[in-house]
A and B are shown apart, each in its own frame.
Chain A
Amino acid sequence: MKFCVAVSTWALSVVLLGAVANAQTSDSPGVTGPISGYMELHLNNEQQQDASLDFHRFVLLFSHSFTPRIRFVGELELEHAFVEGREEAGEVELEQAYIDFLVRREFNLRAGMVLVPIGIINERHEPPVFNGVERPFVDTVIVPATWFEAGAGVHGELRHGFRYRAYALAPLNALEFTADEGIREGRQKGSQANVRNVAVAGRFEYVGFPGLTAGVSAWRGKSNFAVPRLDTTVTIGEADVRYRRDRLELRGEFANVHISDAARLNESLGAATGVSPNVAEGLRGFYGEAGYRIWAAGSPRDLVAFVRYENFDTQHKMPAGFLPLKEFDRDAWITGVTYYPDADVAIKADYVWQRNQSSIVKGRNSFNVGLGWWF
């Protein structure tokens, strides 16, 4: 009953927003101040759980040009609306704070807090640019978006639509790896990050064909600085493609993570804490998505329907002597709609069917509604 009231209230708000947008069909580009940003408010209703209303992300972006060739960009994020010391409810994160030294289009230098150049979502995650209330699972538990780290590197666009990014960054902390979320909790997030070892990350991208973006990314780094005698080197390979033609948009991504010396990592952590984290040697995930703009008359007459299949397994390959936890071999179908009362405002609704390979722990389906915007 409570859920029905919540959904009804939400749906009414959405209808009102749409009506307001319809009433104001001005072609004005809108007014933007010195600060930009994006926000996401979510209503999540998972099976056998109470519905929750979460102001998931409140993100502000700042920029400043010292000279036309030396620029600063910052991105500050508040997650889940509220932060209190020593609690895990919310987070304040400095996701980007870098200086770009723009030398020429083919070669530029960047230093500071940077986004790791990997996958579709990590560097391109404003709510109006992806379908679904929540980001794809693969871009959450295999590629741990939003993944940001302190470091420096180069980027540029070569001829014929090829471009690249390559950075040296602080590595992951393998002591925080888990069976459920893989390497996600190992991100040091530029917070007094240990750089006894340095990781390297790179992406090569092709944007030279209308509507097409195709990329490959890699990340590699020793991640065992806290425990001597381990060789926990993490290697990530990723490939993705986006293609848009007329009303159709297709997306696909594949990511593979290899963690060397995972058996000794589990043994070391088991000896220290009494519980083995059952970290896998291999994690794997992929997804494919098709979206179709069923109403394409420009906002506020702008509606996209989509369907996505995701397969993600954080226990894909186990080290010798360890058995996989089958509830973490998961797949999901997600289908829904994104309505744009304005090109920068996205009202989303989707349904997620999630399954796993365990005969004991069942996957939970969920219904989600979201409101996201960019300004």
Chain B
Amino acid sequence: MRGAILIAVSTIVLCASTTSSEQAGPRRIDVTAERFSFFPSEIVVRTGEEIEFRVRSEDTAHGFRIEGSNVNGVVPKRGKGVLTVTTKFDRSGRYEIECTRLCGAGHDFMRGVVVVRDAVESKR
């Protein structure tokens, strides 16, 4: 009986510590790139929030650039990995996402937006 209680308590402590460490890390946002769109194409975050974008392609290699940020990378072709990039937006506003690698006839349609809201306003 005492052993079972000990295991239960250990499990709860372990879960709690895992959760707290997850909360401390960046918020992960998965994005799919495909001729000629990003999904989601509209992403809402808060100022100061650390974001980890994980972008994967369903076809060819694409570019993933967010204007006004340090995000600018190449999304590998389907099945060849994921572009992982971490960033933080200090000012609220709209930051447009674009594919920077010519990917086909509709390349210029491939755009999205990050909407950054003020952290204080968001909490209200």
Across chains A and B, the number of contacting residue pairs, with CB separation under 8 Å, is 101
Can you list 28 A-B pairs, Cβ within 8 angstroms, ordered by A? A27-B80, A27-B81, A29-B80, A30-B61, A61-B102, A68-B67, A73-B102, A75-B105, A95-B105, A96-B105, A100-B108, A105-B112, A124-B35, A124-B105, A125-B105, A128-B59, A128-B60, A129-B35, A129-B59, A157-B41, A157-B111, A159-B42, A208-B41, A302-B78, A343-B57, A343-B80, A344-B60, A374-B60
A105 and B111: CB pair below 8 A? yes
Residue of A nearest to B37 (CB): A207
A161 and B41: CB pair below 8 A? yes
Residue of A nearest to B96 (CB): A105
A343 and B102: CB pair below 8 A? no
A210 at the interface (CB under 8 A from B): yes
Question: How many interface residues does chain B have, given as a range?
Answer: 20 to 34
Residue count of chain A within 8 Å CB distance of chain B: 46
A244 at the interface (CB under 8 A from B): yes
A123 and B77: CB pair below 8 A? no
1/0 contact string of B102-115 vs chain A (CB within 8 Å): 11111111011100
A374 and B79: CB pair below 8 A? no
* Residue in B41, B42, B74 whose beta carbon sits within 8 Å of that of A29 in the complex: B74
A207 and B39: CB pair below 8 A? yes
Known: A29-B80, A161-B40. 6 other contacts (CB 8 A): A36-B103, A38-B104, A100-B108, A160-B42, A244-B58, A344-B77
A163 and B109: CB pair below 8 A? yes
Q: A105 to B42, alpha carbons, bound, how many Å?
A: 11
Q: A176 to B47, alpha carbons, bound, how many Å?
A: 59
Distance to closest chain B CB from A91 (angstroms): 17
Interface residues in chain B, defined as those with a beta carbon under 8 Å from any beta carbon in chain A: 32, 35-37, 39-42, 57-61, 67, 74, 76-81, 96, 101-109, 111-113
CB-CB under 8 A from B74, the residues of chain A are 29
CB-CB under 8 A from A63, the residues of chain B are 102, 107
Residue of B nearest to A297 (CB): B79
Residue of B nearest to A62 (CB): B102
Q: A364 to B108, alpha carbons, bound, how many Å?
A: 40
Residue of A nearest to B39 (CB): A210
Q: Contacts A30-B61, A129-B35, A207-B39: A73 and B78 contacting too (C-beta < 8 A)?
A: no
A270 at the interface (CB under 8 A from B): no
B104 and A124: CB pair below 8 A? yes
Q: A100 to B74, alpha carbons, bound, how many Å?
A: 23
B37 and A299: CB pair below 8 A? no
